[in-house]
Amino acid sequence: MSSSIEIMKYEPFSNKRMVAYSLNTVILSLMWSIRNWIQLYAAKAMGIPILYVLFVFGLYVVWDAFNDPLAGNLLDRNTKFTSKYGKRFPFIVIGIIGACLCLTLLYIPVSFDPLTAAFWILFIIILYDAFQTMYELSVHSLTVDMFRDQEQRVKLSTFSHIIAGIGSISIWIVIPALLGRFGGETNPRAYFFMALFIILIILIMSVPHIWSVREPEEMKRLRSKLNVEGKSASPPQEVIIRAFKDRNWVGFIIAYVTWIVEIGCVTVGLSFYLVDGLGLPISMVGLPVVAFLLVGFGVVPVWMKIAKQLGLKKSYFYALLLTAISTASIIFATNYTLLVILAALGGIGHGGQGVILQAIYSEAIDKATLKSGKREESSYVGIMRFFSATAIFWQVLIFAIVGTITGYDPQLGTKNSDFAKLGLILQMSLIPATLMFISSFIFFKLYTITKEIAIENKHKLIEMDL
């Protein structure tokens, strides 16, 4: 039984449309890039204590615990509106526009009182998260349903990784330069103009992306049919319980969330270490990240071959291990040259995860769909997104604990003690690396979908008309 023709349910995408579809990774990366400067903005520009920031993201995680699973369940339901315009397409459009409007407000310094400023950030983040969740769940759910064949999924992941890499390289050059141009990391106005510039890029990219995500008529009909048959959604609590009993899904989530924590620790920690640890200007933060992204970009063909030969489980495991090793090595980055070199090496493992990520979570959702007999992509992606959203809380918690123990004070800058500067590098190296090592072996133990099982699952979904 040959795979490609049997597994493809819808007309395959042209390269042009797949590139436009893959812009979702750039759009999400740009949204996250705006949000990820909150901690530096809070500490350096607004003087908000780290414990206030921890409080903000703690409340945000509580909100997210309700928002993401509920949003996923609602997005899985069919209505006359979705039957006509598409199950995912309208919410992709609404989500992008709403998220951009909210991000415009994020860096407006409504007050220089630390507590008031912290509550403003919390309010805007929650509002932004509602729209960003709508977009992210919709586009990721569409990916699982639209691309059924593993070859197509790996191809899409590769396109996405390459395009996201180009976008990320550009943005890590542009953002530090913009912050430096408009007054540096201590000037609130610099963050506001940076955000406006990035939002303009997002809106421009959204035009071809929105063209690419329109659902075919046969998908609309299938979704309406599944809804009539009761195969499109379950109560949220039922999906959550089922997901936590699914060892493949749990294994993937543990590895994925730990990776997001690691990314946060390194990218956010890099700015603090560069400015306060090495005494360099914020504009120099771009080069280590660009080196990291270029290497990640360059290893894409290698990881594509590895994934094809070994399957997704082994490939993802090796990518996790390499990421852990490279992250641990950052402890030796005692000067800027070493920092750039070690950051570049980090791109090897991250490149593998970028190539495999979309394919492996789609594979896990395929297995869950077979067990339940229902297509509930948004519900599963909502659970995935909630746990990934908790990553920023864990990252801030790590920084708060390390900063409290070492006595680090952002307002002191390079006048912090050597012990405090050691904490700055530990929180972006050995601590997240240890978590990565542990999670990679947990994933390998729990995840049972082999290359052969994945192909069999795809055929079964077609046979079940799912």
Mean pLDDT value across the chain? 84
Confidence of residue 1 (pLDDT cuts 50, 70, 90): very low
Checking if the pLDDT of 249 tops 70, the result is: yes
Distance between CA atoms of residues 111 and 63, nearest Å:
24
- The CATH number of whichever domain residue 346 belongs to comes to 1.20.1250.20
Confidence of residue 382 (pLDDT cuts 50, 70, 90): confident
Confidence of residue 5 (pLDDT cuts 50, 70, 90): very low
Distance between CA atoms of residues 237 and 243, nearest Å:
10
Rounded average pLDDT over 90-114: 91
Distance between CA atoms of residues 391 and 294, nearest Å:
25
Would 163 be classed as within a structural domain?
yes
Would 349 be classed as within a structural domain?
yes
Given 3-state DSSP classes, what are the helix, strand and coil percentages for the chain, each rounded to the nearest 5? Answer: 85, 0, 15
Terminus-to-terminus CA distance in the chain, angstroms?
19
* Percent of the chain scoring above 90 in pLDDT: 34
Amino acid letter, residue 402: V
Rounded average pLDDT over 206-227: 75
Report how many domains make up the chain. Answer: 1
3-state DSSP call for residue 87?
coil
Would 8 be classed as within a structural domain?
no
Q: Which pLDDT belongs to residue 11?
A: 64
Distance between CA atoms of residues 112 and 49, nearest Å:
12
Rounded average pLDDT over 415-436: 95
Confidence of residue 102 (pLDDT cuts 50, 70, 90): very high
> For residue 335, which of 416, 415, 425, 428 has the smallest C-alpha distance?
425
Rounded average pLDDT over 266-281: 91
Confidence of residue 239 (pLDDT cuts 50, 70, 90): confident
Q: Provide the residue range defining the domain that includes 162.
A: 13-463
On whether the CB atoms of residues 46 and 115 are closer than 8 A, the answer is no
Confidence of residue 360 (pLDDT cuts 50, 70, 90): confident
Q: Which pLDDT belongs to residue 7?
A: 46
Rounded average pLDDT over 68-93: 75
Structure confidence by residue, pLDDT tens digits, 27-68: 988 998 888 888 889 888 898 998 898 888 888 888 877 777
Q: Which pLDDT belongs to residue 16?
A: 84
Would 126 be classed as within a structural domain?
yes
Distance between CA atoms of residues 352 and 266, nearest Å:
18
Distance between CA atoms of residues 205 and 42, nearest Å:
29
| pTM of the predicted model over 0.85 | no
Checking if the pLDDT of 407 tops 90, the result is: yes
- What are the two backbone dihedrals, phi and then psi, of residue 88, each rounded to the nearest 5 degrees? -115, -35
Contacts of 372 (CB under 8 A, 6+ apart): 234, 242
Rounded average pLDDT over 14-20: 83
Checking if the pLDDT of 350 tops 80, the result is: yes
Q: Which pLDDT belongs to residue 21?
A: 86
When mean pLDDT is compared across 6-20, 23-37, 340-354, 434-448, the lowest value belongs to: 6-20
When mean pLDDT is compared across 108-117, 217-226, 315-324, 452-461, the lowest value belongs to: 217-226
Would 113 be classed as within a structural domain?
yes
For residues 214 and 320, which has the higher predicted lDDT (pLDDT)? Answer: 320
Checking if the pLDDT of 247 tops 70, the result is: yes
Q: How far is CA 96 from CA 122, 152, 290, 292, 405, in A?
A: 20, 25, 26, 28, 40
When mean pLDDT is compared across 27-31, 91-95, 215-219, the lowest value belongs to: 215-219
Would 326 be classed as within a structural domain?
yes
Would 4 be classed as within a structural domain?
no
Checking if the pLDDT of 142 tops 90, the result is: no
Q: Which pLDDT belongs to residue 2?
A: 40
Q: Which pLDDT belongs to residue 417?
A: 94
Would 3 be classed as within a structural domain?
no
* Percent of the chain scoring above 70 in pLDDT: 89
Checking if the pLDDT of 374 tops 70, the result is: yes
Q: Which pLDDT belongs to residue 78?
A: 67
Checking if the pLDDT of 94 tops 70, the result is: yes
